[in-house]
Amino acid sequence: MARLASGVTLITCWADGAPVGLAATSLVSLSVNPPRLLFSVRRAASAHDALLKAGRCAAVALAEADLDEAQLFAASDVLGRRFKSPAWRLNDPFAPRYSGGVARFDLAIEHRIRAAEHTILIAEVLEVASQPGAPLLYFERNFAGLVQDPQPAA
């Protein structure tokens, strides 16, 4: 699985008034009409139960410039340091919002499917916003930027 390059996403929600979130590499488009995204969460993840209970969440596809935030959310031993950056908007009733990234999605969770050691969540896309930037990827258990081929494809 380590050879499968993926975009890095932060998925967040509220749990009893507190911000909860995780880094995920599983966010994919499920359908355009109606707009749906799918992602999976390891059942042992600290945010798993909160996401299962949440009716809605936010997802942000990170940019290369968001590497520090990605590393913070990927580590399980620094939960108390998450959401400390001024880039977080914690006054939004929908979900905690990160102002970075290349794309942001407001999601309504519709289905939860238990699969092996994960839960697959299917969510309706309520709103999308994007901004310029190069995406952050995860490959070979490392974060990486997108390297552009200097030769255009023929």
Give the number of other CB atoms < 10 A from CB of residue 122: 16
Q: Look at residue 154 and tell me whether its pLDDT is greater than 70.
A: no
The answer as to whether 154 is a domain residue is no
Q: For residue 152, is it within any domain?
A: no
CA distance 106 to 43: 22
Q: Is residue 145 part of a domain?
A: no
Could you report the per-residue pLDDT of 59-87, keeping only the tens digit for each? 999 999 999 999 999 987 777 789 999 99
Report the domain count for the chain: 1
70 domain residue, yes or no = yes
| Residue 106 domain flag | yes
**CATH code of the domain in which 47 resides:** 2.30.110.10
Q: Is the pTM of this model over 0.85?
A: yes
Residue written as token pair 């809605």: 56
* pLDDT tens per residue across span 6-41: 899 999 999 999 999 999 999 999 999 999 999 999
Is the pLDDT score of 53 beyond 80?
yes
What are the residues facing 35 on neighbouring strands? none
Structural domain includes residue 102? yes
Question: What is the domain extent for residue 78?
Answer: 7-140
Q: Is residue 150 part of a domain?
A: no
